[in-house]
Amino acid sequence: MSRSSRDPEGRMPLREHLVEVRKRLVLSAIGIVLGAVVGWIVYDSVFTVLQEPLLEAAARRDALIGLNFDGVATAVDMKVKVSLFLGVLLSSPWWLYQLFAFITPGLTSVEKRYAFGFIAAAVPLFLAGIALAWYLLPRAVALLNEFVPAGTSNLIGAQMYLGFVMRLMLAFGIAFLVPVIMVALNMMGVVRASTWIAGWRWAVLVSFLFAAIMTPTPDVLTMFWVALPICALYFAAYGLSVLHDRRVDKRDAARLAL
């Protein structure tokens, strides 16, 4: 978008704003589709890994536990959904950049640097949450299959199992993005660091509740291993907010002194 199409304050006419939104959405969709193509190619390998927790549970209990494709088009539908999900994960740096590119025209040079920092932090944190969920998936499947009565089988609907895996991964991915959102709100002047530290007890409580609900094993140690990184990220975000508030306060004090 050329600067001549906007006023000196960086505002865009509504029509050009909508055109820019469409452009970024199309580019994001192209990135996701390309990532989905890669997901389609590696689907067999991914599906094998997805089945491993069920096969391990079946071997441990000496029972019939596995996926059930209960429809004519279920296998194709699952392949498409897994490919799209992988496409979203693989293209996350690209569609996050498109979000940044859409916001950029209205940002100052300093704010642009902050935006780059948010993207640089958001992508690895989101993927770290996904990785943690992937690590916990076998334990979740093993624990849930412990409730299957002896002498019975557990044929799980493929679509239902896929939905469970996706929800688990997205929950952890979004949880790890919370610190980035905290810093962003602070940089925008919406929330000061004092607000974050005032609610630290609630943050810790919510982190441990989230870990207790999402952790598949009943032992306390695993729950701590899940909750502690989330708490650490919360306090790291608070520390960055403190540094930002101090800079803002010094700048405002200098202006008042003039």
**pLDDT tens digits, residue range 162-219?**
888 888 888 888 888 888 888 878 877 788 989 999 999 999 999 898 888 877 666 6
Rounded mean pLDDT of 51-67? 83
pLDDT value at residue 175: 87
Give the pLDDT band (50/70/90) at residue 9.
very low
Enter the pTM of the model. 0.73
C-alpha to C-alpha distance for 117 and 120, rounded to whole angstroms? 5
152: left (phi over 0), alpha (psi -120 to 50) or beta: beta
C-alpha to C-alpha distance for 258 and 254, rounded to whole angstroms? 7
C-alpha to C-alpha distance for 159 and 237, rounded to whole angstroms? 37
Structure tokens at 225: 């291993």
Instruction: Express each pLDDT in 225-250 by its tens digit.
Output: 788 888 999 999 899 889 888 888 88
